[in-house]
């Protein structure tokens, strides 16, 4: 009788756990590997922020900040996101998020589709110094077998991987579009960018790891503040 009760309890616990996981489809992807999705409702889910493409003389004036925060008004401020901002003093700043994914097959090519939701307040056709704050800031996403690292050489901070330059993608990242919102009115709106029609291929390292990268390459010489509310990576 005791063994029967233990079996029922074990089965009941398993069913409850499975049901609870299914109610969190939009929550953090807790399993290793791909596909991957997070909407940052618990924390930053292991994503870290950094900025490159500027000189040491501009260190104190880039005004780079990041953090786990609610979406800005008039959006739902109870929804969490990863805020990232900087003043583009170099006319070429790249601010980005990165995260390591494990549990993949070693040395295998993966065909990836990124779907990024973020809050932007910049109309695509707006005017700004150096370029439009919406139309001249390009959203990029990619993956690489080595960790994207900020490097200093000859007084200039750059990235150790090839994410491309401005509107051009690189070996390790693809351009998803700009951060411009529709219409002519400033104010935060949720926008979604994806490379559904052009999957990005990345090869895992010999440990079965990939580093995911999401960021913006800016031609707008002003303050850009963005809130990443969902990052999804699927495999085709």
Is 86 within the bounds of a domain? yes
pLDDT > 50? residue 125? yes
**What is the residue range of 110's domain?**
26-235
Is 197 within the bounds of a domain? yes
Q: Read off the CATH number of the domain in which 85 is found.
A: 2.60.120.260
Cis geometry, peptide bond prior to residue 35 (ω within 30 degrees of 0)? yes
Is 194 within the bounds of a domain? yes
pLDDT of amino acid 107 = 98
Q: What is the pLDDT of residues 28-44, one digit of tens each?
A: 455 678 999 999 999 99
**Count of beta carbons in the 10 Å neighbourhood of residue 209:** 18
Q: What is the pLDDT of residues 164-181, one digit of tens each?
A: 998 999 999 999 999 999
Is 3 within the bounds of a domain? no
Is 15 within the bounds of a domain? no
pLDDT of amino acid 2 = 42
pTM for this one? 0.85
Is 19 within the bounds of a domain? no
Number of domains in the chain: 1
DSSP string, 48-95: EEEEESEEGGGGGGS--EEEEEEPPTTS-TTSEEEEEEEE-TTS--EE
The residues pairing with 178 across neighbouring beta strands, listed in sequence order, are 138
pLDDT of amino acid 135 = 72
Residue 38 burial (10 A CB sphere; 0-12, 13-18, 19+): buried
Residue 42's Cβ-side half-sphere holds a number of Cα atoms within 13 Å equal to 11
């Amino acid at each position: 009788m005791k063994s029967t009760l233990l079996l029922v309890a074990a089965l009941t616990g398993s069913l409850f756990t499975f049901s609870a996981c299914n109610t969190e489809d939009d929550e953090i992807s807790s399993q290793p590997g791909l596909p991957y999705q997070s909407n940052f409702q618990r924390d930053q889910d292991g994503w870290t922020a950094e900025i490159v493409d500027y000189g040491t003389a501009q260190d104190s004036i880039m005004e780079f900040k990041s953090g786990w925060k609610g979406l800005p008004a008039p959006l739902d401020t109870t929804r969490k996101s990863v805020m990232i901002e900087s003043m583009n003093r170099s006319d070429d700043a790249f601010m980005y998020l990165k995260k390591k994914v494990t549990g993949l097959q070693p040395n295998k090519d993966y065909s990836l589709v990124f779907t990024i939701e973020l809050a932007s307040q910049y109309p695509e056709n707006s005017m700004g110094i150096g370029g439009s704050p919406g139309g001249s800031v390009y959203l990029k996403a990619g993956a690489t077998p080595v960790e994207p690292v900020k490097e200093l050489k000859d007084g200039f901070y750059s990235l150790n991987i090839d994410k491309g330059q401005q509107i051009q993608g690189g070996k390790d990242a693809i351009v998803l579009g700009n951060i411009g919102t529709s219409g002519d009115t400033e104010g935060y709106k949720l926008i979604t960018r994806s490379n559904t029609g052009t999957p990005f291929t990345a090869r895992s390292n010999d440990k079965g790891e990939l580093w995911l990268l999401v960021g913006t390459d800016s031609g707008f010489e002003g303050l850009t503040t963005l809130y990443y509310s969902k990052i999804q990576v699927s495999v085709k």
